[in-house]
Amino acid sequence: MISYSVFFVSADKKDAAAKVFAGSPRLPAKIDLAPDRDWAAVRYNPDATPPSDDVLWGRASLTLEKSKDLGEIFFLFSDWRPDSLVYEHAKDGVMLRKLVWFQLFDNDEAGWLCADGSPEPWETGLFLPHKLERTIEDERERNSSNGEDERFPAREAEIRKVWETHEIVPKSRVPSCDGSVALLVEQHFRLNRP
């Protein structure tokens, strides 16, 4: 599996989810609920394609309207071909958190396209100390290869500040992300894909 997408709803809302998701001809409202699980996986799609640009840039949501009927809902898209992640967490018509890591503009570099809502506890996994050192080294190499060695001290200070505040901002490459971050989300909330 290289990519996938999936919604998660509370197990006690699986019947309501079947109705909410029934309207789309693209994918059936398949609901997978393992015994003794708190969350039901809805529309699990291995080898999924990314959501629309409006979703990626934060102009549209896949969960917000559905959360009005379903309470708490998650959406995950993960792709490891180019590393990308779409994470939405909404509850009762409020977007709690939306993060999108995807290719920035026309270059091949990935970065944060969207970072809305409040940080969640699982995000501390993006700010581990060894990742800080790796990020600093990567930026040092990038500055050096671009002939901008004199700009590196300021860039290093910016990176260290991001690690202190744990703030993710749109159009930034820091902290870095990849498709495996979806597993971090799944583990934190005890979400189980089929």
pLDDT digits (tens), the chain, 194 positions? 589 999 999 988 888 888 888 865 555 556 665 555 789 888 899 989 999 999 999 999 999 999 999 999 999 999 987 789 999 999 999 999 999 999 876 667 889 999 999 999 999 999 999 999 999 999 999 888 888 889 899 999 999 999 999 999 998 989 999 888 999 999 999 998 88
Give the number of other Cβ atoms within 10 Å of residue 131's Cβ: 15
Least Cα distance to 88 among 109, 116, 126, 130 occurs for 116
Give the number of other Cβ atoms within 10 Å of residue 63's Cβ: 23
Containing 117, the helix (H) or strand (E) segment is strand 110-117
Containing 138, the helix (H) or strand (E) segment is helix 129-145
**Which two three-digit tokens encode residue 127?**
């700010």
- How much is the pTM? 0.90
Phi–psi pair at 116, nearest 5 degrees: -115, 155
Give the angle 137-140-141 at the CA atoms, nearest 5°: 90
What pLDDT score was predicted for residue 55?
A: 96
What pLDDT score was predicted for residue 24?
A: 59
What pLDDT score was predicted for residue 107?
A: 65
